[in-house]
Structure 1
Amino acid sequence: MSYNREDREMHDAKCGDCGTDCQVPFQPKEDRPVYCRECFQNHKPAPRNRDRFGGRQGGRFGRRDDRPREMHDAKCGDCGNDCQVPFQPKEDRPVYCRDCFQNHR
């Protein structure tokens, strides 16, 4: 089934802003204003905050909170330097500093 703009039924209407006579591709309702092409640009809804896959922008789990992260002191399992990580380290798993972490990705 092909879609062709010329095949659409058009309906006469009067712009709710400037009063110009115009045509729209839907039956106007008495209780809702209709806008001509030029005035419609001023009434467009704001774009949704969605990424191209339908989810919210800001990463895999939604928008990141702007609050500062709680950091925890740790000792790197490779070089032994003191570092800070954004999670509570566990005794049974090594933690790596920023430089050494790149070698374990």
Structure 2
Amino acid sequence: MSFDREREMFTATCGDCGNECQVPFKPKDDRPVYCRECFQNHKPAPRSGGRFGGRSGGYGGDRGSRFGRRDDRPREMFDAKCGDCGNDCQIPFKPKDDRPVYCRECFQNHKQN
């Protein structure tokens, strides 16, 4: 793509103030167009968390459900014994007998490896 040539601009009428303005796309009759000043009033609210859908801290934070928004119900916790240090702990899933689980501290050590 060449950036040497100037972008084609189209004349439109602002849907709010009625002033004529230039836009970098061909306006459609069924959609309003706004001038630079009025466009600020129509921008969607910014999502938190940057470009990954509002996740805080990438993949390590409170991700919620992969199928949509997390509800406000308290998470069911299960009693378990840490596979490293042997301490009793609680985890947010039902442990399987054939797989070790780790307390919060030991899990951090396994996550880094």
Normalized against structure 2, the TM-score is what? 0.58
Return the alpha-carbon distance in structure 1 between the equivalents of residues 86 and 109 of structure 2. Answer: 15
Aligned counterparts of 1:78 and 1:36: Cα–Cα separation in 2: 62
> Structure 1: where are the runs of 5+ without partners?
none
Instruction: Say how many residue pairs are matched.
Output: 99
Give aligned-pair identity as a percent: 68
Once the two structures are overlaid, the 10-residue window that deviates more, 65-74 or 13-22, is 65-74
CA RMSD of aligned residues (A): 3.4
Stretches of structure 2 that go unaligned for 5 or more consecutive residues are: 65-69
AA in 2 matched with 1:86: P
Find the aligned partners of 1:48 and 1:34 in 2 and give their Cα distance.
23
Whether the 8 Å CA contact 2:78–2:92 is kept in 1: the answer is yes
Aligned-residue offset at 1:2: 1.9
**Bigger radius of gyration:** 1
Question: Residue type matched to 1:23 in 2?
Answer: Q
Which 4+ runs in 1 deviate beyond 6 A? none
Counterpart residue number, 2:103: 97
